[in-house]
């Protein structure tokens, strides 16, 4: 049986505020799904109902077909999760905290020992395994929490913005860890508002806004079906570049949808078409006397879709 | 929109036993949790604070008795233990309950440790029971330390005859444990009621240190009825095995005024403490089961 999570009419209201509105979402199979949405969209609320931290006003959530609300122990037995930034009892060491977690999951002592060493090394906390957690920074605690989520080698991994509280290096490391988690028979469901993280790690995305699911599809389909077909690139010059020179340089190129200036040395160009067309634009800009020093894509296709879908919601 | 639809989706087929098969039962998990929770308590500053309170109380009693040598207290081992064990134990049990139990449940929300625990495959009753057991054991360690101080004093004054009637002291210790259970139920109820540890600690401390005493005086003076339902009142039975059972209702004339003094019976004491234990523990669990980690 392949791992799955399933929300059936999942709804959460806090008094008159509807945080999640009849979410119906079924994710099945070994894959990594990015759960996207702006702040307040209902991402964490959804994940908390999948882990029984809060209770649905209506509907139900399932992990591997088991209702979290009716049998949380059974449902969560196949799941490793990291919701918000949990705290560990401060006098315990990471090794002890993971021992407790493993023992509560029913792992054998030798299995706990070997997995603890493996996952703490994986999150780069091996050297701190014997130190009290109370002395750790937020980022270090988050690494230990991630290790605890992975300890039992779970079939379903639910992560709520796992790189929260980490420095840029830590974020990159977490991204690499999550990528490494993708394996046969494991479903990773990860909320994030860092789009580059989702593009880098996930196979599919679900976009939530104001408690409603806007779409759930593969990254490729999202870009093809929902994207405008255009992409945005940024070009930077060594010295100020004249408008007239730019206009002359880019005129007649059908792949250029439009351009705008960010500063006297920087411009943003919206392009469509294939990479061959993009190469021509680079050649034209490089021939300008101001000296082209960089040319890079500023937004991913997912970012374009995200911004468009969320702004549609705002309207 | 693959994988989602406008209407309700039928629930998936339930998974086979798989990982659940090896997860310990509720009692097993509660014992595991209590072991690690107790380890956390024993290494914490609050445990050092509790030990400091026990040592301070023991030192004061030792010095006062050594200096004044009260003849009534030193007339027999049971009188001695009845004088310094019963009251001291009730006082320390209150402190232990507040120090260890005040934030036991509220802290899971306030400190976010609940996010670590509740993501695991365990029931809330497991967390409640595990923490209850850990607080109970940490408190017992503190009370036992006080008992050692009391016994050491007993040996100093009575030699080995200090242990001539251990049954009475054991019975008193058992009643102290019953009081501890009841008080912890009460503390856990308030700890489950609030998501802020400070509120839970303050409410219990104010009720037991001030509130119940005032209530007891007011009830007795205004209604001339026995306040048998107050936990602080019935805790008086802790000393009975050592001091003997006083008259249930006594009329005492002091400064020309006739006053009625009530003392709980064994039945009242044990019954009320058991009642508090069961009702407040169930009430606290009921609240914790419904509290959300928002």
DSSP one-letter code for A301: H
> pLDDT, tens digit, for every residue of B47-105?
999 999 999 999 999 999 999 999 888 988 888 898 889 888 999 999 999 999 988 99
Task: Return the H-helix or E-strand segment holding A24.
Answer: strand A17-28
> Are residues A110 and A189 both part of a single domain?
yes
Q: What is the CATH number of the domain that holds A250?
A: 3.30.70.1560
User: Taking Cα atoms as reference points, which of B135, B131, B154 lies closest to residue B143?
Assistant: B135
Are A218 and A232 contained in the same domain? no
Report DSSP letters for A28-60, one per residue.
ESSEEEEEE--TTSSHHHHHHHHTTSS--SEEE
Spatial separation of the C-alpha atoms in residues B137 and A146, rounded to whole Å: 31
Domain membership of residue B128 as a residue range: 25-289
pLDDT tens digits, A132-186: 999 998 888 989 999 999 999 999 999 999 887 778 888 888 888 888 888 768 9
Q: What percent of chain A has pLDDT over 90?
A: 62
Please check whether residue B17 lies inside any domain of the structure: no
Q: Verify that A157 and A103 share a domain, yes or no.
A: yes
Inter-axis angle of helices A275-286 and A243-250, nearest 10: 140
Contacts of A28 in chain B (CB under 8 A): 3, 12
B20 within domain boundaries: no
In a domain, B82, yes or no: yes
**DSSP state, residue B15:** P
Identify the pLDDT of residue B11: 46
Residues A103 and A201 in one domain: yes
Residue A40 has pLDDT above 50, yes or no: yes
Chain A positions touching B118 (Cβ under 8 A) are 51-53
Is there a contact between B123 and A152 if contact means CB atoms under 8 Å apart?
no
Instruction: Output the pLDDT for position A299.
Output: 67
For chain B, the domain total comes to 1
Min Cα distance B108 → chain A (Å) is: 9
Contacts of A106 in chain B (CB under 8 A): 19, 22-24
Q: Assess whether A292 and A169 both reside in one domain.
A: no
Cβ–Cβ below 8 Å for A1 and B1: no
Contact residues, A window 248-287, toward B, CB-based 8 Å cutoff: none
- What SS3 state is found at B92? helix
Its ipTM equals 0.84
Domain coverage including residue A260: 227-314
Give the H or E element holding residue A260. strand A256-261
Strands A256-261 and B249-254: unpaired
Q: Are residues A175 and A192 in the same domain?
A: yes
Closest by CA to B62, choosing from B141, B152, B140, is B152
Kindly report the CATH number assigned to the domain that includes residue A204: 3.40.50.300
Q: Are A145 and A123 in contact (CB under 8 A)?
A: no
Q: Give the pLDDT confidence score for residue A173 in this predicted structure.
A: 82
Domain contains B262: yes
Binary contact (B12, A104; C-beta < 8 A): no
Q: Which residue has tokens 């699911």?
A: A213
Residues A170 and A69 in one domain: yes
Instruction: Tell whether the model's pLDDT for residue B7 goes beyond 50.
Output: no
Phi, psi of A163 (to 5 degrees): -90, 5
End position of a domain, from candidates A175, A203, A223: A223
Amino acid A314: pLDDT: 58
Does A167 share its domain with A251? no
B240 by Cβ neighbours in 10 Å (0-12 / 13-18 / 19+) ranks as buried
E strands of chain B, at which residues? 249-254, 257-262
Q: Is the same domain home to A199 and A232?
A: no
pLDDT value at B1 more than 50: no
- Give contacts of B 21-50 with A, CB under 8 A: 22-24, 29, 32-33, 36-37, 39-41, 43-44
> Is the torsion defined by CA of B124, B129, B131, B132 positive or negative?
positive
Residue A167 burial by CB count (10 A; 0-12/13-18/19+): exposed, middle or buried?
exposed
Q: What is the pLDDT of residue B150?
A: 92
- Say whether both A200 and A234 belong to one domain: no
Q: Tokens 């799941």 belong to which residue?
A: A79
Residues in chain B with CB shorter than 8 Å from the CB of A8 are 8-11
Please tell me which residue, B293 or B260, carries the higher pLDDT value.
Answer: B293
pLDDT score of B272: 97
Please check whether residues A173 and A109 belong to one and the same domain.
yes
Q: Lowest-confidence range among A232-241, B6-15, B169-178, B240-249?
A: B6-15
**Final residue before a domain boundary, out of A203, A223, A243:** A223
Whether the predicted pLDDT of B12 surpasses 50: no
Say if the Cβ atoms of A216 and B40 lie within 8 Å.
no
A202 shares a domain with A83: yes
pLDDT score, position B10 = 45
Cβ burial of A12 (10 Å; 0-12, 13-18, 19+) is buried
Task: Give the integer Cα–Cα distance in Å for A63 and B15.
Answer: 9
Structure tokens at B228: 């048998």
At residue A58, the pLDDT reads 96
pLDDT for res A313:
56
């Amino acid at each position: 049986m392949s791992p799955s999570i399933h929300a059936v009419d999942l709804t959460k209201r806090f008094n008159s505020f509807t945080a999640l509105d009849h979410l119906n979402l079924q994710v099945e199979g070994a894959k990594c799904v990015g759960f996207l949405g702006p702040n307040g969209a209902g991402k964490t609320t959804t994940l908390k109902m999948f882990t029984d931290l809060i209770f649905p006003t209506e509907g139900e959530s399932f992990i591997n077909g088991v209702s979290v609300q009716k049998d949380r122990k059974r449902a969560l037995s196949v799941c490793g999760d990291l919701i918000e930034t949990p705290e560990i009892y401060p006098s315990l060491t990471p090794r002890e905290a993971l021992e407790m977690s493993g023992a509560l999951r029913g792992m054998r002592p030798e299995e706990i020992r070997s997995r603890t060493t493996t996952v703490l090394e994986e999150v780069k906390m091996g050297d701190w395994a014997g130190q009290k957690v109370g002395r750790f920074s937020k980022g270090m605690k988050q690494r230990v929490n991630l290790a605890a989520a992975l300890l039992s080698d779970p079939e379903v991994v639910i992560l709520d913005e796992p790189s929260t509280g980490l420095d840029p290096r830590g974020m990159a490391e977490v991204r690499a860890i999550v990528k490494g988690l993708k394996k046969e028979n494991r479903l990773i469901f990860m909320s994030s508002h860092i789009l580059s993280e989702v593009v880098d790690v996930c196979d599919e995305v679900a976009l939530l806004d104001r408690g409603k699911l806007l779409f759930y599809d593969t990254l490729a389909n999202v870009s093809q079906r929902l994207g405008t077909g255009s992409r945005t690139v940024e070009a930077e010059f060594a010295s100020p570049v004249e408008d007239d020179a730019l206009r002359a340089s880019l005129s007649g190129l059908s792949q250029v949808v439009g351009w705008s200036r960010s500063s006297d040395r920087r411009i943003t160009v919206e392009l469509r078409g294939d990479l061959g067309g993009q190469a021509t634009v680079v050649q034209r800009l490089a021939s300008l006397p101001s000296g082209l020093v960089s040319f890079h894509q500023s937004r991913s296709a997912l970012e374009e879709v995200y911004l468009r879908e969320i702004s549609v919601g705002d309207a | 929109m693959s994988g989602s639809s406008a209407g309700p989706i039928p629930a998936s087929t339930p998974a086979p036993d798989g990982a659940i098969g090896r997860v310990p039962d509720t009692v097993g998990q509660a014992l595991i949790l209590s072991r690690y929770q107790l380890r956390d308590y024993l290494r914490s500053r609050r445990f050092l604070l509790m030990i400091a309170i026990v040592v301070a109380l023991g030192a004061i009693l030792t010095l006062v008795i050594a200096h004044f040598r009260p003849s009534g207290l030193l007339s027999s081992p049971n009188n001695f233990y009845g004088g310094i064990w019963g009251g001291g134990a009730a006082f320390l049990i209150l402190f232990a309950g507040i120090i260890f139990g005040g934030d036991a449940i509220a802290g899971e929300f306030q400190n976010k440790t609940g996010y670590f625990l509740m993501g695991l495959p365990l029931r809330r009753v497991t967390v409640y029971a595990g923490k209850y057991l850990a607080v109970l054991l940490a408190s017992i360690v503190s009370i036992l330390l006080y008992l050692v101080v009391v016994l050491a004093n007993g040996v100093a004054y009575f030699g080995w005859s200090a242990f001539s009637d251990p049954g009475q002291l054991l019975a008193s210790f058992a009643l102290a444990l019953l009081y501890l259970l009841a008080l912890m139920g009460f503390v856990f109820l308030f700890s489950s009621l609030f998501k802020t540890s400070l509120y839970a600690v303050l409410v219990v401390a104010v009720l037991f240190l001030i509130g119940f005493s005032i209530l007891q005086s007011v009830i007795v003076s205004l209604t001339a009825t026995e306040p048998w339902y107050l936990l602080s009142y019935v805790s008086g039975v802790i000393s009975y095995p050592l001091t003997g059972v006083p008259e249930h209702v006594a009329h005492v004339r002091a400064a020309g005024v006739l006053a009625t003094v009530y003392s709980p019976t064994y039945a009242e004491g044990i019954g009320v403490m058991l009642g508090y234990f069961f009702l407040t523990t169930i009430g606290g669990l009921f609240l914790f089961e419904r509290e959300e980690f928002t």
